[in-house]
Amino acid sequence: MGLIYVWLIIFIVTILIEIATASTLVSIWFSLGSLFAMLVSLVIDSFMIQFVVFIIISIISLAMLRPLLKSKLIAQNISTNADRLIGQNFKVLSNSSDTVLATVKANGIIWNVKPVDNISLQIDDMVNVISIEGSKLIVKKI
């Protein structure tokens, strides 16, 4: 009966770790395992049996719940206003070189552009935006 407090402490600690690591699914499996081990400790005094229950439930919950929860918790790709630039054409404002990216002005904002085929861009070249990587527009010369 005295081991119930050990499992309760493990349960509380693993829940706190899970809360502190918000939505990364770090220790919830051990929380479930310790909860079941705590219930078993009410009936069986053997630490070994309680520990085996803890391990088995933790592994089963990891194997079964992680894929389900992971798909629900993965951040969805959120569209931004910058996504509207994809497919649009712009005039190059500055030349590019091996070390300097060219620039374009899109919707009043100056963007660095990187050509998909790594060619040099010159002032007044026209480019089409293929995608966005961080703060760079990935373009193709037209």
Q: What is the pLDDT of residues 102-134, one digit of tens each?
A: 999 988 889 999 999 888 899 999 999 999 988
Residue 78: predicted pLDDT: 62
Give the domain range for residue 134: 81-141
Residue range 15-24: average pLDDT? 84
Residues in the chain: 142
CB 129 within 8 A of CB 109: no
Strands 109-115 and 136-141: parallel
Per the structure, the count of domains in the chain is 2
Of residues 75, 73, 113, 83, the one with CA closest to residue 97: 113
Residues 58 and 88 in one domain: no
Residues 9 and 63 in one domain: yes
Residues 64 and 35 in one domain: yes
- Final residue in a domain of this structure, among 53, 73, 93: 73
Residue 74: predicted pLDDT: 60
Predicted TM-score (pTM) above 0.75: no
Is the per-residue pLDDT at 96 higher than 60? yes
- Final residue in a domain of this structure, among 34, 52, 73: 73
Residues 87 and 69 in one domain: no
For residue 125, the domain's CATH number is: 2.40.50.140
CA 66-52-20 angle, 5° bins: 40
Residues 68 and 118 in one domain: no
Residues 14 and 53 in one domain: yes
* Tens-digit pLDDT profile for residues 37-48: 999 999 999 999
* 68 membership: H or E segment, kind and range: helix 47-73
- Final residue in a domain of this structure, among 45, 73, 101: 73
